[in-house]
Structure 1
Amino acid sequence: MSLKAHAQGSTCPPTKPGVLRLYSMRFCPFAHRTRLVLHHKNIPHEVVNVNLKDKPDWFLALNPLGNAPVLQIDDKIVVESTATSEWLDDVYPENRLQPSDPYRRAWDRVLLEYMGKLTNGFYSAAGSPAAELQGKLDEIMKHFQFFEDKLRERGEGPFFGGSKPCMFDFFFWPTFERYPALAILQDSPAARLDPQRFPKLTALGKAMERLPAVKAAGLDAEKHSVFIKGYLAGKPDYDLFLEE
């Protein structure tokens, strides 16, 4: 199946009975979460990519919110990154990612809620004029400090899940993977994460990069920066780097 994004006027590829399908966008950090879970748990699936700026009618019929990710298998449809990821963890329970301890699970939900500050801060800084960049970076570093402190408090590591990644590690990673693109976009070494200030997050990043799921679903900072530059200019190219 082609990885090129389906836009308005396209026809939805026919589904197959019993085959799990992910409607995605290759550069979407939220769909990235679900792709990580699919790869980490080795769940067989197919992918249909969607142009999120010029959405097909058939995609809006599946998800009137018009965002990715969307999972479909037969007559079941699940939307939104956390819902799809947690549903996958429940339906395919091997290699469980959600914590069994209620307190840890509650705190992972708190961390997830806080993630919005970091993600919004990243995209705000990516499109910021040079005169405003340092103020944006100061805010981002406050958010990174929050996660650095939480990793230290857990006293485990290198993951938020301890010696093995948990669901929140995969919710956190897409923004963390994209963060190095900020220094490229702004041509600013000040945007880089200081490993001396953030040793726990630095160790987390190295551990995540070794995971097969991260290798399978990820892109490097240069590729992220090219897409984000087009996205911020209102001209996202959803088929970047595809040879087909």
Structure 2
Amino acid sequence: MSEEHLAAGSACPPMNDGEVRLYGMRFCPFTQRVRIVLNAKNIPHNVVYINLKNQPEWYFKINPDGKVPALDTGDEVVLESLDIVDFLDQKFPDPPLYPSDPELKNRDKEFIQKFGKVVGATSKALHNKDNSPVDSYIEDVLEHLKEFEAELAKRGTIFFGGDNPGMLDYMMWPWSERSKIPSALQDKEFQFPKEKFPKLVAWREALKDVKAVGDTITSLETHVKFLKGYQGPNPKFDNL
């Protein structure tokens, strides 16, 4: 996997037989979701990174909107991270990432949808177009996380998926990884009330050591470098 983000004027790399291809962006949490699932299922794949400020002309044939992620199997293209991971879970069923019990599977899917509120609050803080204080972001996210702390306590396991992570765990991780970025962007220390969320704190520590997740992690320092330049006219995607 090359770290280079391809831009206008580049050629589309040829696909390899027996592999699926993920088009994404290195710092995109939605791309990371798919990378984690590809790793967890040991699916042969390669990743092509796209410069989202200056997309290659050929990429619009894959996704007319120019957005990432997009998955190309060679026979079809699947868009949107949640659609892609569900597609992968069906096409490559081993190991399964949802519970076999339909009711429990639906509950996990329900919590993935609920996590969208955390995604929205974190995204707003990461880009912070209205220069809101970071404390308001933290309060908003913590309010949404209360239900997840209670659910994890109810399940009585380290992961939402049980002894091993499942789809819900993997879909949450990219925003857990980015939780300290809004504070760092405002040169503040991140204050997370660990005593109120002991289950989620233990969950985070355990999940970051899972290889499928660990192989996708980007350091806080690198995330901050990228985001500080992203809103400018010539953001730097590579060599960070």
TM-score (norm 2): 0.91
- CA apart distance, 1:235: 4.8
**Deviation of the 1:132 alpha carbon:** 3.5
- Distance in 1 between the 2:136 and 2:171 partners? 26
The unaligned stretches of length 5 or more in structure 2 are none
1:84-233 aligned at under 5 Å gives the runs: 84-126=84-126, 127=128, 132-154=133-155, 156-189=156-189, 191-233=190-232
| Deviation at residue 237 of structure 1 after TM alignment | 2.1
Superposition deviation, residue 52 in structure 1: 1.3
Contact 2:18 2:44 in 1 (8 A): no
Larger CA deviation: 45-54 vs 121-130 = 121-130
Letter of the structure 2 residue corresponding to residue 9 of structure 1: G
Shift of 1:202: 0.3
CA–CA distance in 1 between the matches of 2:132 and 2:237? 30
Contact 1:86 1:98 in 2 (8 A): no
What corresponds to 2:57 in structure 1?
57
Aligned partner of 2:36 in structure 1 is 36
How far is the alpha carbon of 1:34 from its aligned partner?
0.5
- Match of 2:147, as an amino acid? F
AA matched with 2:118: L
SS at match of 1:217: coil
Change (3 A) 1:142 1:240: farther
For residues 158 and 232 of structure 1, what CA distance do their matches in structure 2 show?
38
In structure 1, distance between residues paired with 2:52 and 2:133: 29
Q: Which moved more, 1:130-139 or 1:88-97?
A: 130-139
How many angstroms apart in 2 are the aligned matches of 1:74 and 1:133? 43
Moved more, 204-213 or 221-230: 221-230
Change (3 A) 1:228 1:157: farther
Distance in 2 (CA, whole Å) between partners of 1:216 and 1:133 is 29
CA displacement 1:144-172 (0-9 Å, x = unmatched): 22221221222x22111111111111110
1:3: which partner in 2?
3
Query: Is this contact kept in 1: 2:112–2:171, CA < 8 A?
Result: yes
Q: Which residues of structure 1 form unaligned runs of 5+?
A: none
Aligned alpha-carbon RMSD (Å): 1.9
8 Å contact 1:4–1:239 — kept in the other structure? yes
Distance in 1 of aligned mates of 2:185 and 2:233: 15
What residue identity is the alignment partner of 1:207? Answer: A
Identity %: 38
Who is 2:76 aligned against? 76
